[in-house]
Structure 1
């Protein structure tokens, strides 16, 4: 029951954050918006940990992994994805991000030695075919300087960095580090690293005082960062990165629906094919062979009766 609730909360929040990010782009530089976002999130997380009197002292080695977590899940992964959404709609970025599922499985094999089932390769091929279909108009012309290809490349790069952050969270959990404490330190380091990057980059620390920017910033800080990451990392702890990635399959459904309503996202034949291929590939990756066989066995029994 707990996992079900966590899934629903994670899917609804993260599925909607792609649209919220759109309201962050334009007046304020992405890196500056992220400094604001993770600073607010860090304050909220540290306030929670201090109120709950959770232990916050850790050894130097763990702090190094907090820094890795900061860069991969609370910093530069989002910066890359913000850049990507300068070129793509929130729907397209979300669909590209769903490849996190396959990346998590591959990285789990690399870092934790878990075998990769044969169906993973089938799902990965379908997912790759789906990405090609989604961006077919740009792929067929081989114009790698086009906005769509640039956006896709940034989306996949940001997704890969996020997957490394997921592996870091699994490592921290295996070393008995509380999720809330790990997130608090990660968000603190993330905001500091982004601040350093912003200062070196020479970006202006301005604020967009319009309501859409302020509301989306608060939503992304509280719900998209504090609450969603807490839910997702609990899923990583309880059921592992492969099963927790079930939620990734549903992100695009929420994001595409919102994009249709608010961004005028228009379906094309290649878009539909790509969307179906990506989701089908993810479902195959996540569904063990014995469950597929059991499903068809049940279907046979129903037909016989």
Structure 2
């Protein structure tokens, strides 16, 4: 059983990384919309991690982390590559073909639930009554934001398919969150594990892209590659080591509440660039989501 001190998020060493990750990931939802306009989603995901992987290995070397890992850690890296850097991102990109970026962010924000459940069964992390109550409050807030978005910005495409794709992406990310925090993951430097995971994920991404979308598609637009640079270097290389470290320090359930802040930030960015309207329903949803997050984060163990 993992013990996590109460009010851990109030410590600057955790609060600042928590906010940094939320700010960066909150921006990525809008940037992803520039990656799927005329380019197969599978190839956009591949190019993202083609760029991110060398940078992650360079970060490992800069931090003087050994690149060698035992065989069992490589098997874990393969699983992380499959679930996080292939499954999660491919399904997210595909879902944004059918849903607005705000809707997808809201659905991924529900990762608090599978993270806590998987953390309980795989890592022995308790789910307390306070955490359950906080999660319920936050999910009501997410639902209100979802209803508001659907009402203000009517959805196009295959909505049902988009929701299913986003939920599959959420579960894939949750599995990756939890398995990296186990004994095998903690036995090797985190950045080294992520570098190898990205490498294996990139290989899987390229194979999936070629099988489903045909030969490589290489866009020429500078804006596209600027987006790739932001998503790869800032949205992946900078944030994943920080976030996975938070999972290990806070527990899978509470760390997933970063997704609630990401949702709120994503909606503010949508306000600026996509004309999102903060109706009374949206304000109430955002307030409930934040309240639920605070209630759950005050739980002693989650």
Say yes or no: does 1:76 pair with 2:87.
yes
Please name the residue that 1:302 is paired with.
Answer: none
1:69-108 matched pairs, under 5 angstroms: 69-108=80-119
Q: 1:190 aligns with which of 201, 210, 233?
A: 201
RMSD of equivalent CA atoms: 2.7
Closer/same/farther in 2, CA of residues 119 and 147 from structure 1, 3 Å limit: farther
How far did 1:172 drift? 5.4
How far did 1:242 drift? 3.2
Please name the residue that 1:160 is paired with.
Answer: 171
CA distance in 1, matches of 2:253, 2:58: 31
SS in 2 for 1:75: helix
Closer/same/farther in 2, CA of residues 116 and 52 from structure 1, 3 Å limit: closer
Maintained 8 Å contact 2:72/2:184: no
Please name the residue that 2:71 is paired with.
Answer: 60
Segments of structure 1 that go 5 or more residues without pairing to the other structure are 291-305
CA distance in 1, matches of 2:141, 2:123: 28
How far did 1:274 drift? 4.1
CA distance in 1, matches of 2:205, 2:267: 29
CA distance in 2, matches of 1:189, 1:23: 25
Maintained 8 Å contact 2:191/2:241: yes
How far did 1:42 drift? 0.7
CA distance in 1, matches of 2:253, 2:273: 32
TM norm structure 1: 0.84
User: How many residue pairs end up in the alignment?
Assistant: 286
71-80 or 204-213, which deviates more: 204-213
Please name the residue that 1:260 is paired with.
Answer: 271
Maintained 8 Å contact 1:135/1:148: no
CA distance in 1, matches of 2:61, 2:18: 27
Q: 1:231 aligns with which of 232, 242, 254?
A: 242
Larger Cα-atom Rg: 1
Note the alpha carbon deviations across 1:57-76, whole angstroms, 9 max, x for none. Answer: 22222211111111122121
Closer/same/farther in 2, CA of residues 85 and 139 from structure 1, 3 Å limit: closer
How far did 1:276 drift? 4.0
Note the alpha carbon deviations across 1:79-107, whole angstroms, 9 max, x for none. Answer: 11111111222222212221122221111
TM norm structure 2: 0.84
Say yes or no: does 1:118 pair with 2:92.
no
Say yes or no: does 1:48 pair with 2:43.
no
Say yes or no: does 1:13 pair with 2:40.
no
How far did 1:240 drift? 2.8
Closer/same/farther in 2, CA of residues 38 and 289 from structure 1, 3 Å limit: closer
Closer/same/farther in 2, CA of residues 275 and 108 from structure 1, 3 Å limit: same
Note the alpha carbon deviations across 1:196-224, whole angstroms, 9 max, x for none. Answer: 11122143412222222111110000000
CA distance in 1, matches of 2:186, 2:238: 22
SS in 2 for 1:58: coil
How far did 1:130 drift? 4.1
Maintained 8 Å contact 1:235/1:244: yes
List structure 1 runs of 4+ shifted beyond 6 angstroms. Answer: 137-140
Segments of structure 2 that go 5 or more residues without pairing to the other structure are 1-11
CA distance in 1, matches of 2:63, 2:140: 48
108-117 or 195-204, which deviates more: 195-204
Please name the residue that 2:3 is paired with.
Answer: none
